[in-house]
Structure 1
Amino acid sequence: MKRWFALSMILIFACMPTISEATVKLPSSVIDISKENTYPNPTQNLPYLQPSELAKQLLQSANVKIENPELIRLLNESSISSTPFAIGYEATIYLGQWPLNYESIETSTNWEYQKVNTNFIDNRGGKTAVRLTYRQEIQKQVRGGLTASIPNEEDVKKMMLLTAMKKTNLPLSFSTWIGIGTKKEQAYNVPPKKLGYLYAYAPAVNEKGKVTYGEVYIVLKGKKKSIVVKNVTSQGIGAWIPVQDRLSFAFVASDVPR
């Protein structure tokens, strides 16, 4: 009976669907401006690079996990010819020191990462409520970046960006623009005898984790090809990555100027 129960539980868990990647739920204050944005932001297209057969063979032989797209690209562009007379042949090729992989520890979102616009109406002399809508007054660039200086910054940023995009399912980029004249028809009522302020903020994802570095060698022994990683080190790193074409709005009705 116990054996049957254990087997049944194994089958049940084996048939359960896997949990998909986490998706960040946007607060109601966050609005999509991708259609209205007068500055067309380029889409970040960072597909997961598929290794070639040779690259796959080398990656599987490595003593440290390698996920750096640039290193995989280099391996994809490499070729090593086999020869029937390779018995006794040995060679070691040094490819340099590389950031090998990034391990995410924490991913969070600041919906008010940077204020990019303020719209204002003075209704202190009014007798009825007036409508206040969003209109971008100046063209604004929002930049992210790493929180500390680190070797091979661009490679590390690509790995962190790929990880954050996968975990949040948000359109992310280390640089994004909000064009002048961008507007939304969504209205906020400013009561009589009040000042109305509508603040627009660019959100960003805060990614924290650990990057692993190592010296990468290709080792050839006869017909055998492998990767050996030496002098492996790890370093903690964080990054702010803005969310493209999304704004978080905060409306305030005030008795006095702010």
Structure 2
Amino acid sequence: MLKVFLRTILIAMLAMVVTIPSVQAKEAKKTVNIPSSVLNIAKENTYPNATQDLPYLQPSDFTSQLLKTSNVKIENPNLIRMLNETSVNRSIFSIGLRAKIYLGEWPLNYESAETAPNWQYQKVNTNYYDNRGGKTNYKMHYVQETQKVVRGGLTAKVQKLEDVKKMMLLKAMKNTNLPLAFDTTIGAGTKKEHEYNIAPKRVGYLYGYAPAINEKGKVTYGEVYLVLKGTKKEIMVKNVTSQGIGAWIPVQDYISFGFSASEQPK
């Protein structure tokens, strides 16, 4: 009986080891389904957009210990960077030390509630061809007529704007697995060899749109203190507030196409 009981416990433990990572893997693979009408123009773009390299900043060992003591979750990369550059040396004279150091009011974390794409966020180009006098199909291709800069931004005014934008951008990139930036440029002369047929006696229009991600959620603020009690160090957050916030974040180096043909010009 004891052997059977131990075997049952062992099987249950192995099942947990096997299944838990698979659940975590599913949660990590958040992506957005890209429609067939949306094409990547990164190689063709005549304007080289700077890649948004925003890795999740790793806290140092000292910072990790501090973050564990905080009563509010802290994810702000700029605050973590400041803590990484902070050091408090131990000393035999620090046994009776008591201090509370005010580090300022910070946006501490951003909690995403919704991440949704708008594939036609802003029209950036129109190609036109009149084939009413033609006898065969005309093959139209996308050619960017003029350089276009597409900008996003937050939907409300907030304190420490750049910190909030960075946290929202990081969360949106994680949720979509798309190249995102608050501004992106499509260079004049950018082409794509995808073909759109215009029948005889028809006028064809090929519209190009810059897609963007609509990110919505909540940002949490608080006054941050570094508290020293002898050899003990901890983070204390006071006057915690939350604010709903949204943002439009363009998708870099992607174009959404819409094609139509009519008997008369529009």
Alignment TM class, shorter chain as reference = over 0.9
* Partner residue in 2 for 1:247: 255
How big is the shift at 1:14? 3.5
**Normalising by the residue count of structure 2, what TM-score does the alignment of the two structures yield?**
0.93
Q: Distance in 2 between matches of 1:202 and 1:116?
A: 6
1:35 equivalenced with 2:35 (yes/no): no
Percent of matched pairs sharing the same residue: 65
Aligned pairs for 1:1-258 within 5 A: 11-16=14-19, 17=22, 18=24, 19=26, 20-258=28-266
How big is the shift at 1:100? 0.1
Q: Secondary structure at the match of 1:124?
A: coil
Q: Secondary structure at the match of 1:160?
A: helix
Q: Distance in 1 between matches of 2:94 and 2:104?
A: 25
Q: Distance in 2 between matches of 1:145 and 1:255?
A: 40
How big is the shift at 1:11? 4.1
**Number of equivalent positions:** 258
**1:127–1:155 CA distance, 2 compared to 1 (3 A):** same
Q: Distance in 2 between matches of 1:12 and 1:59?
A: 32
Q: Secondary structure at the match of 1:117?
A: strand
Structure with bigger helix share is 2
Q: Distance in 2 between matches of 1:57 and 1:153?
A: 27
Which stretch shows the higher mean deviation, 11-20 or 21-30?
Answer: 11-20
In structure 2, runs of 5+ residues without a counterpart are none
**Normalising by the residue count of structure 1, what TM-score does the alignment of the two structures yield?**
0.96
How big is the shift at 1:12? 3.0
Which stretch shows the higher mean deviation, 11-20 or 214-223?
Answer: 11-20
Q: Distance in 2 between matches of 1:229 and 1:200?
A: 48
How big is the shift at 1:119? 0.2
Q: Distance in 1 between matches of 2:203 and 2:121?
A: 25
Q: Distance in 2 between matches of 1:68 and 1:76?
A: 12
1:34-77: CA deviation from partner (whole Å, max 9, x where unpaired): 00000000000111111111111111111100000000000011
